Amino acid sequence: MALDHLLASLLARADRGARLVVMVSAALMVIVVFAQVVMRYVFNGSFDWADEVSRIAFVWTIFLAIPLGLRDGTHVSIELCVARLPTSLRLLVARLMSGIAAAMMAIVFWTTIGVALATWSERLGSINITSSVFFFPVIIGAFHSALHLAHLSLFPMEPRG
């Protein structure tokens, strides 16, 4: 039970951080897009950097929110067959699927690090930062998701139904 408590505590802290970054990046995206619309339609001009900044904020918002959805069990799932299984078998299937998904997220994590390193020297045109900035949230989100899925595999929630 000590491992469960330690992992749950670690994940709770990571969730708080992810939630904060998701809120800030979503707000930044809305503000930048709103400012760009105002600039185009009111002042007949535009910010050169708005497109790239809003895309970066969008990617950070999406990929850091994924583990939060995993934690809450709010991602889309099909339970038609699983719901008909006895509770013990449903629990086994949930653990197995969480374990497989955790392994897949670990592969995404590792592969994305390689892609980020390979594209490190490429620069974004208007804001002159590395294009790898698009891969950072994928790396963080995949690792965070893998931790949630590993936790669910080791210490599953009670199955619904």
pLDDT of 73-90, one tens digit each?
776 667 777 778 888 888
Q: Are 64 and 18 in contact, with CB atoms under 8 Å apart?
A: yes
User: Residue 161: its pLDDT value, please?
Assistant: 47
Of 32 and 75, the structure prediction assigns the larger pLDDT to 32
**pTM as predicted:** 0.85
Place of tokens 């995949």: 142
Q: Is residue 49 part of a domain?
A: yes
Q: Is residue 56 part of a domain?
A: yes
Q: How far apart are CA 136 and CA 118, in angstroms?
A: 13
State whether residue 159 is helix, strand or coil: coil
Q: How far apart are CA 132 and CA 155, in angstroms?
A: 34
User: Residue 5: its pLDDT value, please?
Assistant: 84
Confidence of residue 155 (pLDDT cuts 50, 70, 90): confident
Q: Is residue 77 part of a domain?
A: yes
Q: Is residue 6 part of a domain?
A: yes
Residue 3 burial by Cβ neighbours in a 10 Å radius (0-12, 13-18, 19+): exposed
CA atoms within 13 A on the CB side of 57: 18
Region 18-37: mean pLDDT is: 95
- Tell me: pLDDT of 158 over 70: no
Q: Is residue 97 part of a domain?
A: yes
Q: How far apart are CA 40 and CA 35, in angstroms?
A: 9
Residue 33 burial (CB count, 10 A): 16
Rounded to the nearest 5°, which phi and psi values hold at 123? -115, 150
Structural domains in the chain (count): 1
Which domain, by its residues, includes 74? 2-154
83: DSSP letter: G
**Tokens in use for 161?**
């139904």
Q: Is residue 122 part of a domain?
A: yes
In whole angstroms, what separates CA 16 from the centre of its chain? Answer: 13
Q: What are the tens digits of pLDDT across the range 91-143?
A: 888 899 899 999 999 999 999 999 999 999 989 888 888 889 999 999 999 99
User: Residue 58: its pLDDT value, please?
Assistant: 95
- Provide the β-strand partners of residue 130: 123
Q: Is residue 161 part of a domain?
A: no
